[in-house]
């Protein structure tokens, strides 16, 4: 019995060291060497200081910036520690009310824009952290942003086009625009 317990304890310690220490350190080291930007959080820097990540959205609400997808995280939006969807299905009255409220807010912010509002401006992503919007969502906001900044729409459209990322590897996903990167490019334009 003693030797069986000793063997079991030895295997437990050995496997704990391998799976809990050696393996994570090896994977972290390899990731840092092969994908240094991603392993460091895909941070975006402005004036040498990190201002966000390419992977996590940020709230923008002033008319001179592009707005991202609504966040489903609580207690504050884009809280990476609380990543989750709202779990509200399409027949849930709370989702319908939230979407109606978001539509009203978008229409109030740009009353002259009668174009249909893209769905990604009124619905949260599955994680509640999505940093991207569709090119259609960016173009829908173009007039408001240009007017608020005193810029020509063509200037702002050129920034949207320059910050539109194509499908990953040419066939996965859809074209998208990183809201933080676009807003930083917009801020740099007016320096």
pLDDT tens digits, residue range 7-22? 999 999 999 999 999 9
| pLDDT per position as a tens digit, 149-179 | 999 999 999 999 999 999 888 889 899 999 9
| pLDDT per position as a tens digit, 106-138 | 999 999 999 999 999 998 887 778 899 999 999
Which pair of tokens denotes residue 22? 């050696």
């Amino acid at each position: 019995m003693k030797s069986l317990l000793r063997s079991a304890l030895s295997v437990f310690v050995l496997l704990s060291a391998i799976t809990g220490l050696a393996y994570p350190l090896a994977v972290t080291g390899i990731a840092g060497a092969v994908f240094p930007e991603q392993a460091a959080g895909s941070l975006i820097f402005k004036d040498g200081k990190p201002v966000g990540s390419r992977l996590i959205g940020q709230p923008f609400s002033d008319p001179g910036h592009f707005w991202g997808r609504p966040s489903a995280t609580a207690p504050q939006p884009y809280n990476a520690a609380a990543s989750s969807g709202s779990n509200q299905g399409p027949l849930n009255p709370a989702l319908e009310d939230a979407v109606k409220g978001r539509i009203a807010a978008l229409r109030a912010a740009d009353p002259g824009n009668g174009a249909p509002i893209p769905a990604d401006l009124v619905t949260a992503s599955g994680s509640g952290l999505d940093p991207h919007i569709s090119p259609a969502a960016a173009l829908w906001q173009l007039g408001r942003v240009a007017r608020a900044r005193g810029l020509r729409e063509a200037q702002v459209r050129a920034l949207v086009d320059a910050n539109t990322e194509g499908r990953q590897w040419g066939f996965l996903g859809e074209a998208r625009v990183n809201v933080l990167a676009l807003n930083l490019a917009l801020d740099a334009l007016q320096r």
